[in-house]
Amino acid sequence: MGLLRKLSTGPDDHGAHGAGIVLMLLAMLAFSFGDALGKKVVATYPVGELLLLRAIAGLIVLAPLIWRQRAAFRRLERPGLQMLRTLVAACEVAAFFIATIYLPLADVITFYLASALFVSVGAALFLGERIDRTRAVVIVIGFGGVLIALQPSPQTMTWPALIAILASMLFAVLLLITRFLRQTPAMVLASQQFVGTALLGAALMAPSGWMTPAPVDWLWFGLAGIVSAAALLCVNRSLSLAPASVVVPYQYTMIIFAAAFGWLVFGDVPTLPTVVGGVVIIGAGLFLALRDRSSGVAKSAITKPERTT
């Protein structure tokens, strides 16, 4: 981190932008690693138990920063919207890991990439943002990529795939709500997500009961939370060093990391439709991001909030 800090203090923005890109790439690698850990754990333990224990581990890691910024927790803007965001974030995490029980990690991440398209539609419907003809065509093409990856038919339209799509839509809602809460410090939003995930995990765990983890599995639970918190901090630092328009496109590397972990850990090989659909979705998302950057709209664009998955 010392090198990255040194880079960010140069006479121009190039060093800071480079450091921001590196941190975003590290965040995507960490998120993918944490997702793979979660998928491994939920193959044996209830999803609720994973959500609870990894959220506790994440909060322990963030505790010093939360304590340092404790004054920010006393004056929350729009408390009702804060609670709604926390609920949406917790449900999104739960849906993500439920989907990973039945689907390859790369497949679930591919559907997640469509969240940028859902955000564009949601911003037009609920925020009054204008969608010009070019953007509309690109959005339609992007959703075509979702259909290619999903291969909708009575045989392929399984409920795990639908849950993955639901998780992507919930993530888009999370992004839209975050737009309204832009004055809330990032650490406040992140800690709320961890707390909400822990509470939902406890609620989901109640019907199935507690399964005491084996000694080595405690390590996986804790590591999942630690990695998630570390990725969150990398995202925050990345966005503080470089504009969102510079670093956000690198979030699409997550599909590469997810496919690699899926192959190395679970032996999953992405199918051709998933690869083709993912390429179409990524292409559409990158086009929108780069178009906003070139037109100067990116300064007001919705940036990705801290994932806790």
Per-residue pLDDT tens over the stretch 279-289: 998 888 888 77
* Six token digits for residue 99: 């989907």
If we measure between CA atoms, which residue out of 34, 14, 142, 24 comes closest to residue 96?
A: 34
pLDDT for the residue 169: 92
Q: Span 169-189, mean pLDDT?
A: 86
pLDDT at res. 294: 64
Report residue 104 CA to chain centroid gap.
Answer: 17
Distance linking the first and last C-alpha atoms of the chain:
23
Could you identify the residue written with the tokens 């007001």? 300
3-state secondary structure of 275: helix
Given a contact cutoff of 8 angstroms between Cβ atoms, the answer to whether 301 and 244 are in contact is: yes
Q: For residue 232, what are the contacts with CB-CB under 8 A and spacing of at least 6? A: 27, 58, 62, 190, 306, 307, 308
Residue positions counted in the chain: 309
CA distances from 90 to 105, 179, 180, 212, 307 (A): 19, 18, 18, 23, 10
Q: Taking CA 38 as the corner, what is the angle to CA 208 and CA 142, rounded to the nearest 5 degrees? A: 115
Q: Is the pLDDT of residue 8 over 70?
A: no
Rounded average pLDDT over 124-136: 80
pLDDT recorded at residue 3 = 42
Cβ-contact 250, 97 below 8 angstroms: no
pLDDT tens, position by position, 237-274: 887 787 766 777 788 888 889 989 999 989 988 888 88
